Chain A
Amino acid sequence: MSLTFDILLLLLLIVTALAVAWTKDLLAAAIIFSSYSLMMCLLWQHRGAPDVAMTEAAVGAGITTVLFLVAIGRTTRREK
């Protein structure tokens, strides 16, 4: 059960990372990146690192995403 969960999580991480690469809409890419961070946070919680998981949730998925959103708002949403 645990191993299945792990493999699933790792595969999902790779899929979301590829999705960030393929998405042309920067706003969508930033949100997908946020979900990637949340999944990473789940993985770390599972690996016995609650401190890091908490930081990643607050900083990686929270603050970093907000900063990206501000930057996209100030510049452009479309990738050419």
Chain B
Amino acid sequence: MYTWPHWLPLVVLTPLLGAALTPIVSLRTRHVAPWWALGMMTVTSVAAGMLILRVALEGPFSYLPGGWVRPYGIELRFDEFSASISVICLIGWLAVLYSFRYTEWLREVPKQRIPYYYALLLLNLGGMIGFVVTGDLFNLFVFLEILSLSGYALVAVSGEHIAEMAAFKYLLMGAISSLIVLFSVGILFGITGSLNMADVASRLGDTGSVAPAALALGMLTVGFMVKAALFPVHIWLPDAHSIAPSPISAVLSGLVVKLGILGMLRLYQIYYTSGIIDLFVLNQILVWLGAISIIMGAFFAVFQDDIKLMLAYSTISNIGYIVMGLGLFTNFSIIGGSVHVFNHAIIKATLFFAAGAMIYRTGYRTLSDLRGIGSSMPLTSIAISIGAISIVGIPPTAGFLCKWYIALGAFEANQPFFGFVLIFGALLIFVYYIRMVNAFYFQAPVRQEVVDATEAPASMLYPTLLLAALCLIMGVLGRIPLAFIEPAVQRLLTPLGG
């Protein structure tokens, strides 16, 4: 069953084709659109499950659209890093479910927009899946554009005037970064004559064109850094992620920014295999930028009153952890960083879903307005607390293991300073967690709506609870993704020649 070869194109094309059909199925009534999107994501998830089963049993495999062998055609490549489509499918499916009630409630969204909202969400998820499974540099760019364009539009969909400005800021920076990526893909094509990643990696070493290769490396890193919202180029993120509708915030914050990281991982695969450039300088830069992001993101998060803005800043901080893990470039730290890509997606989705449920029920989004909500929405409050504990990295939860590994990596790399930065960042986040728990549980409500609030409807509550449970389960079963990623990291760290 799982060896059927066409699962791989199916997993990419189902959401994309589903998006193209969404306006058609919702011609008669727009209420079909959410169910249609949910069905498409279900099919996609089944296909993703098959693929992950296959990669677990057989190791990485390829699919050749049109039957053209590498490097003449486009190659779809499924390896251990591509297994992150499991998280994309999970959060995507839950976000669609969560949107059922949430979009109907958003006053500013004209009801006619709703089918297009689901179409864009499907396009975004399909673009991400394509980005993760493609083995071709230009194809990577095309999928990057699909997911970015739909992302910009999804930020603007809520229709508040700030939303459109935030979307425009996001679009401008995103478009520049995409262009930078395209430019460097052009350079790599110019010096190797190929676009297939594995082929580029094997040819790059022999070209001897060190200067163009270095420029391409630098520009690709900058381009993906913008997508991942690392420190100097993070300015688009807080507005965009806090203003988007909550399910979209979860998708953007949990998944879309991670694709910048996955892009960097692919880049590392190419450059480390070819050995054309010593990556030491780049790694040092990345570690420092990561460290600054951790501190700065956490610092700004502490001072926010708006709960979604706080979560958005905490995303910057967590991207810092992941990038620092990559930059330290030891076995432990890369494993920790890549597993944090998975775990942070789940944790951040929990937090945004729970925050969205509170906003849905009360209409308030600041901590000072939401005081005392712990007694009126107990389950949602518990979910948000579990998410907060995980994001700080307190032992039994999902966040702990990754941070532990990254810290181990820092000591392994003989750079204990960064281990302390990590701990300091975690402490800062702990402060914000204390503030939140204090506001929710130990302060008297100031708003009548908060007192009257009840638990969110089932289509919003159960996704939140499921993700919160996953935060705990991943802490206990964290060894499974760890064991899964380890061979891939080993392969990454072993250059082709040596």
Instruction: Report A-B touching, CB under 8 Å.
Output: no
Chain A residues at the B interface, C-beta cutoff of 8 Å: none
